[in-house]
Each structure stands twice: as C-alpha cells, then as structure tokens.
Amino acid sequence: MADEPCSVYAPHVTTVGPLPQSLLGEAQALLAAALPHDPIAVVAEEKLFGDNGQREGRVFGAWQGSALVGVMATAGRWIKLLAVDGDQRRRGIGTELLGLARGDGQLRVMDHPGNYLAPGLDERYREGRAFFAARGFRELGTVENIRAPLTAALTITDVEGYAIHRVEPAERASLLGWIASRFAPVWAFEVARALDGPRRAVHAAWRAGTPVAFAAADGNNQGLGWFGPAGTDPAHRGRRLGEALLVRCLEDVRGLPDAGVIAWIGPKMFYAKTVGAVDDRRFVTLEQE
C-alpha cells in the first residue's frame, strides 16, 4: 500500500487514493463520528487493515486539502464500510469512493464473511440507505444481532459422554480442519482469529478424540466480545452441547464493551431460552442490481 494518497492535495478540491495506515487515527475519528451506531473506535484497525481471508482488502481515503473527509474499505466485491464526514455529504465524495470499488460479481454492502463491522447496514442509517438505493443497490432482507444481558453469572455445565474444554494449541489444526470441512472455511478463519486473541475464547466438545461441536467469541471485531460462530455436528444435536459451549464463551468475554452480543444470528429462540437474549440491532443487506 502506498505511503501517501495518489493525488496531490489542493485546497477545496476532493482527491481520492489509497489510505495509508499511518492515518489510522484520523480515519478512526471520522468513522466514529459518521457511524454512531457502530463501536468502530475499538475495531477500526481490524476493519480497515485486518486480514480478509482469501479476498484482497483495499482501503481508500478522500481528502479536501489535507483534511480526511471520506473512508472506504473493500474486500473482493464487498464494501466493508463507507463513511463521509457529516459536513461534507452530498458533494459527490461517497460516489467517487464507491466508484473505486471492484470485484467479481455484484457489489454487496458490509456483510463480508469473516471480517465485518456489522452483518449489514444498520436500519437507522437512513441517509446511507438512501445513498445506496440511489446508486442501484437493492435491499435483499434483514438480519439481526441479539444480546444476552449478562447481569448475573451463567451456569457452566458439562454433558455426559463428551469432553468439553477450551481448545488447546495442540488441538488447533484438528478443530480448524473439521470446522472448514463440516461448516465453512470462513468459519475456520474466524475461529483461528479467536484462538489467536488475548482471551482465546474458543471451546469445543470432543468424543473419542474427535470434535463434534464448537463455539467461539471475540474473533471478528476483536475487543468487543461478540459471540460466534458456533456449530454442532447434526449427529450430536439435541444434547445441550451448544448451550454448554455458549455459556463458556460468554463468560470469557464478560466485561468487554459488547459482551453478550450474539451476531448475525440463526436460531433466535435457542439463545433467548438459553441465556435470555433479547433483540439488539437490525440490519439490511444490500446488493447492486
């Protein structure tokens, strides 16, 4: 990545180019002001410059003179985030940044698997929804984050016939290979990040030395404490393994800014019954027509 933007600064003229990592602080401040519903201050470096798995990540800035007024991060065909300073909107800055996005297939907004700020655009960003609609993006549907209150300690349980514990370094390759083959490589990517994180919030259930269920937290958006991904082999479902693993992971991240958030959820009733999870945020998914 270039050390400086590719265009020459000029007063009152918007220029765009690669955003150098040395401007992370300026980008972080802009994003925090432009995206008030997202805890971007904690995870800005990960969202802008973190690993995107198999997809190439690109980060761009827009400047007026020497002032950073817009930021966009992409991964393949995904626009991971796009933000413009509130005082500089409706001047074509967002459109110019959007024109730099590219990838195989139709562009999508925010729901990039493995390294996402949010699993879609928060419904409350009405101006952002209008921006994308005016540029040929259609809303495909909604997804949710829910939140476990974590007002009291959770009860950690075992399940007879299974070894349930925090994943050890010697078990890493076996677990990640199993997750990639049984679920998805991108889940293995996210779990690997959780294993490398300071809390190592990954637990698994084993039978006869083989993993049959897992759960992870604080992999994506590291430092916030989001839960996921998690999965159980179909042959071992219905035995409360998911509950045992969920509780362990939530206790691991207790005290983090968004501890208790269960992101991009699937079985909503399971989480409500197990840990009292309630509605938290709703997002729209968008794709270019």
Whether residue 183 is predicted with pLDDT greater than 70 in this model: the reply is yes
Q: Is the omega angle on the peptide bond into residue 229 within 30 degrees of 0, that is, cis? A: yes
Instruction: For residues 95 and 107, give the distance between their C-alpha atoms in angstroms, rounded to a whole number.
Output: 14
How sure is the predictor about 267, in pLDDT bands with cuts at 50, 70 and 90?
Answer: confident
pLDDT at 204: 98
Instruction: Retrieve residue 156's tokens.
Output: 């950690």
Query: What percent of the chain is helix, strand and coil (3-state, nearest 5)?
Result: 30, 30, 40
How sure is the predictor about 41, in pLDDT bands with cuts at 50, 70 and 90?
Answer: very high
Bridge partners of 14, per DSSP, are 64
What is the per-residue DSSP string for 195-223?
Answer: HHSTT--EEEEEETTEEEEEEEESSTTTT
Q: What percent of the chain has pLDDT over 90?
A: 93
Q: In 3D, which of 265, 246, 37 has the Cα closest to residue 279?
A: 265
Instruction: For residues 248 and 199, give the distance between their C-alpha atoms in angstroms, rounded to a whole number.
Output: 12
How sure is the predictor about 9, in pLDDT bands with cuts at 50, 70 and 90?
Answer: very low
The pLDDT tens digits of the residues spanning 83-115 come to: 999 999 999 999 999 999 987 789 999 999 999
pLDDT at 103: 75
Answer yes or no: are the C-beta atoms of 117 and 110 closer than 8 Å: yes
pLDDT at 13: 64
Instruction: For residues 175 and 231, give the distance between their C-alpha atoms in angstroms, rounded to a whole number.
Output: 12
Q: In 3D, which of 109, 107, 135 has the Cα closest to residue 123?
A: 109
Q: Report the chain's mean pLDDT, rounded to a whole number.
A: 94
Helices 185-196, 172-182: crossing angle, 10 deg rounding: 150
The pLDDT tens digits of the residues spanning 16-40 come to: 999 999 999 999 999 999 999 999 9
Integer-rounded Cα radius of gyration of the chain: 20
What is the longest distance spanned by two Cα atoms in the chain?
Answer: 69
Q: Which domains, ranges and CATH numbers included, belong to the chain?
A: 14-142 (3.40.630.30), 163-259 (3.40.630.30)
